[in-house]
């Protein structure tokens, strides 16, 4: 029946018994998963993030020198900090991955095909969030563990050495995976909000890296009040999630996670609003 487009002649009308196709949320997720798998750029970005995460972590442990006053190990108080220092760079690659997932559809025009297939629209955003959160949390958590375990032999016997069973280590490593997955989702939300890859990436960099710097030029009394509530790592909510020891003036890991989630939810709400309201 569905093969009759060329063959049929004459009067027989559209097939009376049509296959019962139907859009379901599960199918939209499958579609987004297939889209994710079929683009080389997503694989490359993901691989780059994984390599950064593991490579920089292990390299930091290898080059660790407790006497250094400058350089990468100067302020390293523990093995987890060394292993997760790479989060700073990996978050950019994974945030960009998120931006590409959504804004990339607008810049290529694919969004019109996507929304013609799923005109209710919101399932598309939800499915993308699910797929990218799922992929990134697996890759980033694995990366955090590999980074820590790969660096362990080099730090063995030194004062800052830790093992997986040391208190708080598992929380930090899982926290890093969760943080990075949330950043990918934040990127996806920002990409859908601004519909431009360049715009999405800029916004992400501003939120994660420039705002903390910007705070330095504001009246100094503002910084302690604002800084812990920024999403990023440097003194922000993300830093609280992955740090082994809570620094003074920062949030607890749980509170940090709540603040980061709030950022992501607000960005997603904006993205959903724009998705539903604006022409595509």
Partner 1 sequence: MIEIQHLVKRYGDKTAVDDLHFTVKPGVVTGFLGPNGAGKSTTMRMILGLDAPTSGSVTVNGKRYAQHAAPLQEVGALLEARSIHPGRSAYNHLLALALTHGIPRRRVDEVIELTGLGKVAKKRAGAFSLGMGQRLGIAAALLGDPQTIMLDEPVNGLDPEGVLWIRTLLTNLAEQGRTVFVSSHLMSEMALTATNLVIIGRGRLMADTTVASFIEQAGGDSVKVVSADSARLRELLLGPDVTVTGEAGSETLTVSGLSARQIGQTAADAGIAVFELSPQAVSLEEAFMTLTGDTVEYRSNAGSASQTGAPEGSVAA
Binding site for partner 1 (CB under 8 A): 1-6, 8-15, 18-24, 27-28, 30-32, 34-35, 38-41, 104-105, 108-113, 115-120, 279-280
Shortest Å distance, C-beta 16 to partner 1: 10
Shortest Å distance, C-beta 273 to partner 1: 14
C-alpha distance from residue 181 to each of 4, 95, 153, 170, 208 (Å): 46, 9, 28, 17, 14
Rounded CA-CA distance 81/242 in Å is 8
Shortest Å distance, C-beta 106 to partner 1: 11
Rounded CA-CA distance 34/57 in Å is 31
**Residue (of 136, 143, 151, 142) closest to 53 by Cα position:** 143
| Structure tokens belonging to residue 129 | 């969030």
Site of tokens 């032999």: 153
C-beta of 1 vs 213, nearer to partner 1: 1
| Structure tokens belonging to residue 149 | 């375990």
C-beta of 6 vs 220, nearer to partner 1: 6
C-beta of 26 vs 71, nearer to partner 1: 26
C-beta of 192 vs 241, nearer to partner 1: 192
C-beta of 2 vs 165, nearer to partner 1: 2
Shortest Å distance, C-beta 274 to partner 1: 13
**Residue (of 264, 185, 188) closest to 231 by Cα position:** 264
Shortest Å distance, C-beta 261 to partner 1: 29
Beta-carbon contacts of residue 5 (< 8 Å; ≥ 6 apart): none
């Amino acid at each position: 029946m569905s093969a009759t487009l060329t063959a049929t002649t004459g009067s027989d009308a559209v097939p009376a018994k049509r296959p019962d196709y139907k859009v379901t949320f599960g199918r939209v997720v499958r579609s987004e998963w297939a889209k994710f798998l079929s683009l080389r750029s997503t694989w490359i970005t993901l691989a780059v993030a994984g390599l950064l995460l593991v490579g920089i972590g292990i390299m930091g442990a290898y080059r660790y020198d407790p006497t250094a006053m400058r350089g990468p190990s100067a302020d390293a108080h523990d093995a987890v900090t060394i292993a997760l220092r790479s989060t700073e760079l990996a978050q950019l690659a994974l945030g960009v991955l998120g931006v590409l997932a959504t804004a990339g559809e607008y810049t290529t025009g694919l969004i019109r095909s996507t929304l013609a297939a799923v005109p209710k629209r919101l399932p598309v955003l939800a499915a993308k969030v699910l797929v990218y959160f799922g992929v990134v949390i697996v890759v980033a958590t694995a990366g955090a563990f590999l980074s820590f375990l790969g660096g362990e032999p080099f730090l063995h016997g030194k004062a800052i050495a830790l093992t997986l069973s040391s208190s708080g280590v598992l929380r930090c490593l899982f926290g890093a995976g969760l943080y990075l997955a949330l950043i990918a989702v934040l990127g996806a939300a920002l990409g859908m909000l601004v519909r431009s890859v360049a715009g999405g990436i800029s916004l992400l960099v501003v939120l994660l890296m420039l705002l903390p710097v910007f705070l330095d030029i504001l009246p100094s009394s503002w910084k302690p009040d604002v800084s812990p509530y920024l999403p990023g790592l440097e003194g922000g909510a993300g830093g609280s999630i992955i740090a082994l020891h809570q620094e003074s003036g920062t949030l607890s890991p749980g509170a940090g996670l709540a603040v980061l989630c709030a950022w992501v939810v607000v960005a997603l709400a904006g993205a959903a609003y724009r998705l539903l309201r604006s022409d595509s």
